[in-house]
């Protein structure tokens, strides 16, 4: 299982012209690995995530996702089919958790299971609850299952967000700036969690970040500049 982008190009209207957000981007992310994408604001990182997550269709190129049931070119899907793929094979972690205020941490995950996923519709209620508790335990929140977002800290909400993204055993995990609103200690804990989950769950993972601190822990590091993606040498951890 893997995600492969081949010669992906994306443009936006810019007056009478077109602005190129992605310029013949090529990227391969095997199952169980994390590809970190860095670069300045406006370089195309968010566009790359949006294309990978089927939120935007590229102008040209292929976005191939291999799953346990075969291969699909995400760039050719209808809106309805793309929405189904997001529910059934993807976990998306936005910068802001976007949790439902009225739901508890456990309920955030349970609702996701009932919306779809590999086996999501077929889990019994006890199985769904057990799966939600298991993931909340995995992200270090076993005693917070009954709490609503307003009762959680920023770091705890982000952990619920990550657990929710994993509820349906995603083939592809798309993560946007997971540590941007966290201090260094909580940020390191979130990166620990993402790397563990990506490797243990064999999810192909794209992680956009401005923080170079954790790049040495990524399986591959890329830099986006003016819509062009290039691989860079993975930084080596240094003693402080």
**Does 237 map to a domain?**
no
Q: What is the CATH number of the domain that holds 7?
A: 3.40.50.300
Residue in 155, 222, 148, 150 with CA at minimum distance from that of residue 193: 155
Q: Say if residues 217 and 195 touch (Cβ distance below 8 Å).
A: yes
Express each pLDDT in 176-224 by its tens digit.
988 776 777 777 888 888 888 888 888 899 999 988 888 999 999 999 9
- Both ends of the chain: CA-CA distance in Å? 37
Q: Say if residues 98 and 161 touch (Cβ distance below 8 Å).
A: yes
pTM of the complete model: 0.84
In this predicted structure, what is the pLDDT of residue 121? 46
Number of domains in the chain: 1
Count H helices, E strands: the chain?
6, 10
Residue span of the structural domain in which 36 resides: 2-232
**Does 239 map to a domain?**
no
Residues 122-136 have a mean pLDDT of 84
Q: Which residues are bridge partners to 223 per DSSP?
A: 38, 230
**Does 240 map to a domain?**
no
Residue predicted with more confidence, 118 or 51: 51
What's the rounded Cα separation, in Å, for the pair 25 and 66? 18
**Does 48 map to a domain?**
yes
Under DSSP, is residue 200 helix (H, G, I), strand (E, B) or coil?
A: helix
Asked whether the predicted pLDDT for residue 148 surpasses 70, the reply is yes
**Does 153 map to a domain?**
yes
**Does 77 map to a domain?**
yes
């Amino acid at each position: 299982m893997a995600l492969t982008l081949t010669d992906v190009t994306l443009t936006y209207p810019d007056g009478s012209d077109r602005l190129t957000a992605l310029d013949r981007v090529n990227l391969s992310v095997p199952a169980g690995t994390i590809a970190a994408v860095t670069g300045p604001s406006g370089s195309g990182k968010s566009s790359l995530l949006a294309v990978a997550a089927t939120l935007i269709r590229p102008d040209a190129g292929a976005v191939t996702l291999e799953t346990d049931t075969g291969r699909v070119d995400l760039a050719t899907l209808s809106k309805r089919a793309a929405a189904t793929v997001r529910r059934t094979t993807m976990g998306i972690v936005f910068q802001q958790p976007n949790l439902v205020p009225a739901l508890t941490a456990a309920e955030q995950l349970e609702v996701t299971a009932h919306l779809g996923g590999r086996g999501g519709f077929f889990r019994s209620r006890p199985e769904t609850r057990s799966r939600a508790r298991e993931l909340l335990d995995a992200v270090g929140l076993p005693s917070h299952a009954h709490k609503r977002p307003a009762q959680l800290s920023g770091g705890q909400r982000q952990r619920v967000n990550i657990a929710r993204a994993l509820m349906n055993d995603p083939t592809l995990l798309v993560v946007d700036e997971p540590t941007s609103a966290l201090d260094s200690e909580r940020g390191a804990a979130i990166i620990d969690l993402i790397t563990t989950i990506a490797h243990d769950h064999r999810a192909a993972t794209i992680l956009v970040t401005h923080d170079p601190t954790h790049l040495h822990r990524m399986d591959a590091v890329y830099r986006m500049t003016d819509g062009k993606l290039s691989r860079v040498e993975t930084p080596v951890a240094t003693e402080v």
